[in-house]
Amino acid sequence: ADKTTYLWTLRDDVKFSDGQILDADDVIFSYYVYADPTYTGSTSLYSVPIVGMQNYRTQTSDEVYAKFDKMFDEIYKAGESHTWSASDGWSQDQQTSFWAIMKQEWVKDVQAIVDYCVANYSADAETAIGIKAEDLDTDGEKVALGMAMWGYGKYADGVLTAPSGKTFDLKGGTFPTIEDYYAETYAAYNGDPIAYFDTEAADDTSVVDEARGTFISTEGPKDPSLGGAGIPNIAGIKKISQTQVEVTVKGFDATAIYSLGITVAPLHYYGEESKYDYANNKFGFDFKDLKHVSSLTTQPLGAGPYKFVKYENKIVYFEANEFYYRGVPKTRLLQFKETLDPDKISGVKTGTIDITDPSFSTAAIDQVKSYNSNGELSGNVIETNTVDNRGYGYVGMNAAKIKVGEDPTSDASRALRTGMATLIAAYRDLTVDSYYGDRATVINYPISNTSWAAPQKSDSDYKVAFSTKLDGTPIYTSDMTPEQKYDAALKAAIEYFKAAGYTFDEASGKFTAAPAGAKLQYELIVPGDGQGDHPSFMLATKVKESLQKIGMDLIINDPTASTVLWDKIDAAEQEMWCAAWQATIDPDMYQTYYSTNIVGLPGSTESNHYHIQDKQLDELIMAARKSDDQAYRKATYKACLDIIIDWAVEIPIYQRQNCVIFSAERIKLDTITPDITTFWGWMNDVELIEMQ
């Protein structure tokens, strides 16, 4: 389809907690807030190709947008040192604006590094810059910390020295500014924002991508063809009546409906009613001015079962919404209390907590059982409910790092990764059973078992991950003991490594040399808090032992802070890593596996950490996205999963369970959602819960 239209029809009896009816004007207002270029909250709305969305956000027509998009590339290619002339396809003012915007976005990114360091490394401030964490107040102190922690400043004897040689006498009260920090990064990368972003960025916001959007929305509206009129509205969002809103998007995308289904905020509260007139393109606020909206975010108002009262001493206080459309909640008062995981179960026992979600570890299970007189997970003190987590654990490989030669797609590169994956997969049962017991299961495809698209063991083409030899025959037989399986996996891995070009000494049974571009040892990051507390830590140690038998090695990096892992991943420096995905409702694979979403590529979602680039996979992902036939999509996603396994960039490890516990002494258990699932939890029926 060229276009797809969604029609939202509202109930006419839904009220906000102040008694005012929720209607189409509230929906329109909310859509426009989310669509505003200055909105900084979490939303994926503008990633959906809503008709007119790009025009509105940039205040340009399609033709003007294309013109300035091309102009951006041309000015960038000409370079900052380019001397403008009348023969250029842009004006001198546009060139000046371009480089001012580029600097502005670069400075913003440097500020993001500072903010990241303050949020994550304040505890190291005294060592890094001689200032205690609790005294880290001024902008200059924070910039100094950001420079020191990011390698742009060395601190000694009270003085911070930048790479350029410029010094800042911190002890004497002289601190760097954000402009100083920017100047150091600019010099380090010779003014190349792409090279800077590929290496230094603290988040997924590309300097060049942000500059492109800002340039187009700043200079584009000035184009004579627009006559200064601008774009008054989003053409694809229309109010049909007080209970109906229509949204039209370009083409069809199976995931769009989840982004279009927004949380609706009350216009009369967050907006300015004097600035709302739908017929005259006024939507409750001025374009690019959300000050009034954001001024109320600490005093939220909505239409849910409970209304906000206050936040105090790490507790959010709520009271029942008497206007809730499903009925007044049975329990009048509700509190959300910040609680450390070790205190959750004991809190239910002592009566300070009624409902909580502890980590479902062996120790947690033993603790719950010890409180119940029957020695079970559900008894007279605690009622336990478990469901499969909407996600899964995996070991990932960066194809750009684990390869032979320069081609990560070659047979040799795939053989190298498959050899590693074969060994890793062999120890999955051992590590999952050891860490989780019967609270998790081994999975064989990189997708959560909770998804409708997940292959089932009953499927004719279902396979155990990485269970075949180089020649395609099975590695294992049904009568093998665990030790025999480990030996068989090692033998199979040896053949894969040989096929990758590794030099094998038959006499010693060890590899003596790696082919060009490959290594005899690789690093696996296992974020176990520096104590090996991770589901895949045992697996890592067993793989290391196996590799050492054949002259190779696995360096296990168990950082005390998981930020070490994510910093490396964001910089695309990781080789292998252990992590877990939180899956979305729809099994769409675009963000994670599509070729253009590799970390560091312009316009990327920065989510393809595997660096997988496969044309066939890309085509299948887009084909599945554009279909509403679930049977077709499931078969297509199965083909995608097979390609991902063939690349050997992701080894699926486990599907674990989530746990919620309830106080059997204080809650009427028959008022809790009777059939809790992965997708429908107790909170969906919170208004029905009664206390004893």
How high is the pLDDT of residue 204? 66
Is 480 among the domain residues?
yes
Is 267 among the domain residues?
yes
Which of these, 352, 319, 320, 351, lies nearest to 338 by C-alpha position?
352
Q: pLDDT digits over 13-40, tens only?
A: 999 999 999 999 999 999 999 999 999 8
| 13's tokens | 């009896």
How high is the pLDDT of residue 601? 77
pLDDT band at 1 (very low <50, low <70, confident <90, very high): low
| Edge-to-edge strands, sheet with 244-250 | 3-9, 244-250, 237-241
Which of these, 211, 185, 209, lies nearest to 196 by C-alpha position?
185
pTM (2 d.p.): 0.83
Span 535-540, average pLDDT: 96
CB 94 within 8 A of CB 68: no
Is 177 among the domain residues?
yes
d(CA 500, CA 417): 9
Distances (CA, A) of 300 to 263, 314, 544: 13, 17, 52
Is 74 among the domain residues?
no
Is 600 among the domain residues?
no
Residues 543 and 403 in one domain: yes
| Dihedral sign computed on CA atoms, order 80, 81, 82, 84 | positive
Residues 436 and 577 in one domain: yes
CB 565 within 8 A of CB 559: yes
Q: pLDDT digits over 56-94, tens only?
A: 999 999 999 999 999 999 999 999 999 999 999 999 999
d(CA 146, CA 148): 6
Span 289-299, average pLDDT: 96
Decide which of 207, 242, 264 is a domain's last residue: 207
Distances (CA, A) of 362 to 74, 386, 440, 584, 627: 60, 14, 12, 28, 43
Residues 565 and 682 in one domain: no
Residue 37 phi/psi, 5° resolution? -60, -20
* Average per-residue pLDDT for the chain: 95
How far, rounded to the nearest angstrom, does the alpha carbon of residue 324 sit from its chain's CA centroid?
Answer: 33
pLDDT band at 480 (very low <50, low <70, confident <90, very high): very high
How high is the pLDDT of residue 482? 97
d(CA 502, CA 515): 5
d(CA 591, CA 589): 6
CB 349 within 8 A of CB 371: yes
Residue 245: exposure state from Cβ atoms within 10 A (0-12, 13-18, ≥19): buried
Residues 114 and 139 in one domain: yes
Residues 44 and 170 in one domain: no
On the question of pLDDT at 359 being above 90, the answer is no
How high is the pLDDT of residue 199? 79
d(CA 149, CA 147): 6
| 688's tokens | 């029905």
Residues 364 and 417 in one domain: no
Decide which of 244, 263, 296 is a domain's last residue: 296
Q: Indicate the SS3 state at residue 660.
A: strand
Span 564-581, average pLDDT: 92
Is 567 among the domain residues?
yes
Which of these, 525, 535, 532, lies nearest to 569 by C-alpha position?
525
CB 105 within 8 A of CB 210: yes
Identify how many contiguous H helices and E strands the chain contains and give both numbers.
Answer: 22, 21
Residues 186 and 157 in one domain: yes
Q: For residue 659, what are the β-bridge partners?
A: 386
How high is the pLDDT of residue 62? 96
Give the CA dihedral 54, 55, 58, 59, nearest 10 degrees.
Answer: -170
What letter would DSSP give residue 76?
H
Residues 190 and 290 in one domain: no
Decide which of 296, 314, 344 is a domain's last residue: 296
Residues 348 and 409 in one domain: no
Residues 467 and 572 in one domain: yes
Residues 195 and 317 in one domain: no
Which of these, 137, 190, 649, lies nearest to 394 by C-alpha position?
649
How high is the pLDDT of residue 565? 93
How far, rounded to the nearest angstrom, does the alpha carbon of residue 506 sit from its chain's CA centroid?
Answer: 46
pLDDT band at 45 (very low <50, low <70, confident <90, very high): confident
How high is the pLDDT of residue 643? 98
Span 270-296, average pLDDT: 98
Is 632 among the domain residues?
no
Span 131-158, average pLDDT: 95
pLDDT band at 570 (very low <50, low <70, confident <90, very high): confident
User: 378: domain range?
Assistant: 306-385+662-691
Check which CATH number belongs to the domain holding 259 and give it.
3.90.76.10
On the question of pLDDT at 132 being above 70, the answer is yes
Check which CATH number belongs to the domain holding 437 and give it.
3.10.105.10
Is 540 among the domain residues?
yes
State the CB neighbour count (10 A cutoff) for residue 677.
Answer: 12
How high is the pLDDT of residue 42? 79
On the question of pLDDT at 527 being above 80, the answer is yes
Q: How many domains in the chain? A: 4
Residues 453 and 319 in one domain: no
d(CA 337, CA 314): 6
CB 55 within 8 A of CB 231: yes
